[in-house]
């Protein structure tokens, strides 16, 4: 431990965001472009308590909530190195368990900080900021280099999907000496890192920079290659010694309500992908119905995706923005049923809601509301009919019940469904003849990631369902180890 009294001597200090009035005019990173000074980060690292039993890197489920990092990042160790001014050693220790800290430091909700022991007595250590600093330090000082194995195994592995799970799996397999080909259905590699997260939250330069490192390491990327369309399971199983499916959970949850077929109602995934493509191609949106400019926008659903939709709509110039959630508002402090070191289920104002508050003067979120009908004319949505609900315990099951005489109609010319995902694309099951779980995910052994088809493995959201980027990277790493064992016989 760098300084035994660090958590008492220094207060938590996070990297600030750019002013709202400035950042909503562009699609650049919401964070200030300059990282905190080295002395500031050293002091923040000194707050790490060397707490004997560091829950921050436990990565376990407690009461169905995540506690600590599933990648088992060694936070006390790299914090200690940084506190001593040994950034290169700190990055090496971080990179030992995390293939892509430049991604996790931007988009991970930091379950490590939720389980930080310092959070019991004060504020947790700024682990995400430290990860970002170490990552950028490593790139700036050419510590991140292509990894070219001294000897190749002669085995070939296909990885389907280039999201965080696929990239982590490919990286580890390449380090083991196998020849790796990554197939991606989109026109750019990166999966959700490229098209599922807006540029202001995860700069696409970070993604392309990492892809360049992986390509220089010998990993081959084949774009516009979708299973069941341009590539087949038969071809993959014939030409490769093993196949790893990292296709993600890509089937969005829909709302089967009257008026659902009206124009102007889109899945959040479709909306965010279109906005990012337009930004990267420096072109206007392909379809005008996907633009929020001058429209009343309603986002159905909370979570990170809902926040990203709010922020994107503001940058497109929406007239108003409202976010509707069926669940109750979270509490402002930990409740008895959510003790440390569980992931804290707390009310927070994320970057998108913060922008909406400053731009429109009010929080866009409304809770305990249910949508009953989409209203429109000339085949175009014009509003929603909603009602208030209360949650009641009926037969030991919490059930939403409509409150009488609470119906109202709100205007909306663009409705975005940010309701999560319901599993893997059906094409994948049909092509590989895979068994599936009740949640519509690929049935794969949790220990060796193997499916019912010999030589075919599954990892990431396609196996465990919609989850965090850190879980996806951990799954990709685990699947790579399983493939290596399989190839060794």
Q: Is the pLDDT confidence value at 12 over 90?
A: yes
Stronger pLDDT, 240 or 52, i.e. the higher one: 240
Q: Are residues 136 and 187 in the same domain?
A: no
Q: Quickly tell me which residue has 């493995």 as its tokens.
A: 457
How far is 230 from 60, CA to CA, in rounded Å?
39
Contact 181, 142 (CB under 8 A): no
Domain assignment present for residue 479? The answer is yes
Q: What DSSP state is assigned to residue 396?
A: T
Q: What DSSP state is assigned to residue 51?
A: -
Q: CB neighbours of 400 closer than 8 A, spacing ≥ 6?
A: 326, 368, 370, 389, 390, 391
Domain assignment present for residue 345? The answer is yes
**Which CATH number fits the domain that encloses residue 386?**
3.50.50.60
Domain final position from 376, 401, 417: 417
Measured torsion, CA atoms of residues 129, 133, 135, 138, in degrees rounded to the nearest 10: -170
Q: Is the pLDDT confidence value at 287 over 90?
A: no
Read off the pTM: 0.95
Q: Are residues 348 and 283 in the same domain?
A: yes
pLDDT in tens, 187-201: 999 999 999 999 999
Domain assignment present for residue 151? The answer is no
Q: Is the pLDDT confidence value at 38 over 80?
A: no
pLDDT of residue 288: 85
Contact 173, 240 (CB under 8 A): no
Contact 432, 233 (CB under 8 A): yes
The two structure tokens encoding residue 133:
């600093």
Domain assignment present for residue 149? The answer is no
pLDDT of residue 66: 87
Give the CA distances from residue 371 to residues 270, 295, 310, 408, 481, in Å, rounded to whole numbers and listed in that order. Answer: 21, 19, 18, 10, 45
pLDDT of residue 224: 97
Domain assignment present for residue 260? The answer is no
How far is 101 from 113, CA to CA, in rounded Å?
15
pLDDT of residue 1: 66
Domain final position from 397, 417, 437: 417
SS3 of residue 42 by DSSP: helix
pLDDT of residue 264: 96
Stronger pLDDT, 209 or 49, i.e. the higher one: 209
234: part of which helix (H) or strand (E)?
helix 233-239
SS3 of residue 21 by DSSP: helix
Q: Is the pLDDT confidence value at 76 over 90?
A: yes
Structural domain tally of the chain? Answer: 3
Count Cβ neighbours within 10 Å for each residue of 439-456 and write b for 16 or more, e otherwise.
ebbbebeeeebbbebebb
Contact 157, 242 (CB under 8 A): yes
Q: Is the pLDDT confidence value at 408 over 70?
A: yes
> Does the N-terminal peptide bond of residue 341 adopt cis geometry, omega within 30 degrees of 0?
yes
pLDDT in tens, 218-277: 999 999 999 989 999 999 999 999 999 999 999 999 999 999 999 999 999 999 999 999
**Which CATH number fits the domain that encloses residue 103?**
1.10.1060.10
Domain range spanning residue 197?
Answer: 156-250+422-487
Domain final position from 395, 417, 439: 417
């Amino acid at each position: 431990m760098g300084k035994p009294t660090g958590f008492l001597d220094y207060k938590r200090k996070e990297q600030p965001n750019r002013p709202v009035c400035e950042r909503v005019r562009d699609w650049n990173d919401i964070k200030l472009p300059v990282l905190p000074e080295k002395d500031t980060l050293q002091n923040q690292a000194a707050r790490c308590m060397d707490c004997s039993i560091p829950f921050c890197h436990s990565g376990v489920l407690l009461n169905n909530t995540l506690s600590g990092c599933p990648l088992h990042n060694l936070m006390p160790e790299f914090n200690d190195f940084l506190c001593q001014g040994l950034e290169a050693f700190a990055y090496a220790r971080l990179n030992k368990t995390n293939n892509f800290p430049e991604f996790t430091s931007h988009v991970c909700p930091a379950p490590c900080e939720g389980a930080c022991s310092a959070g019991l007595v004060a504020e947790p250590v700024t682990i995400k900021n430290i990860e970002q600093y170490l990552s950028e330090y490593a790139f700036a000082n050419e510590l991140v280099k292509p990894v070219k194995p001294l000897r190749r195994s002669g085995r070939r592995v296909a990885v389907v999907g280039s999201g965080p799970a696929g990239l982590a799996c490919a990286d580890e397999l390449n380090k083991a000496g196998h020849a790796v080909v990554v197939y991606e259905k989109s026109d750019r590699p990166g999966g959700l890192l490229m098209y599922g997260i807006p540029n202001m939250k995860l700069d696409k330069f970070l993604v392309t920079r990492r892809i360049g490192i992986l390509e220089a390491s010998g990993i081959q990327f084949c774009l516009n290659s979708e299973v069941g369309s341009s590539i087949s399971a038969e071809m993959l199983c014939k030409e490769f010694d093993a196949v790893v499916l990292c296709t993600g959970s890509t089937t969005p949850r829909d709302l089967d309500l009257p008026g659902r077929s009206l124009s102007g109602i889109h899945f959040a995934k479709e909306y965010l992908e279109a906005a990012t493509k337009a930004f990267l191609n420096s072109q206007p949106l392909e379809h005008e119905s996907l633009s929020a400019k001058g429209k009343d926008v309603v986002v159905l659903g909370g979570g990170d995706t809902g926040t990203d939709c709010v922020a994107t709509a503001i940058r497109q110039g929406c007239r108003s923005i409202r976010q509707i959630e069926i669940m109750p508002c979270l509490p402002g402090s930990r409740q008895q049923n959510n003790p440390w070191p569980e992931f804290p289920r707390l009310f927070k104002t994320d970057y998108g809601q913060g922008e909406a508050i400053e731009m429109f003067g009010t929080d866009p979120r409304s809770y305990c509301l249910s949508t009953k009908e989409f209203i429109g004319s000339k085949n175009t949505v014009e509003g929603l009919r909603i009602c208030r609900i209360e949650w009641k315990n009926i037969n030991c099951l919490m059930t939403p019940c409509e409150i009488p005489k609470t119906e109202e109609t709100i205007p909306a010319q663009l409705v975005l469904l940010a309701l999560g995902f319901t599993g893997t694309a059906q094409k994948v099951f049909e092509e590989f003849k895979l068994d599936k779980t009740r949640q519509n995910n690929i049935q794969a052994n949790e220990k060796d990631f193997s499916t019912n088809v010999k030589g075919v493995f599954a990892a990431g959201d396609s196996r465990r369902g919609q989850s965090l980027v850190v879980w996806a990277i951990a799954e990709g790493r685990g699947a790579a180890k399983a493939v290596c064992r399989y190839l060794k016989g």
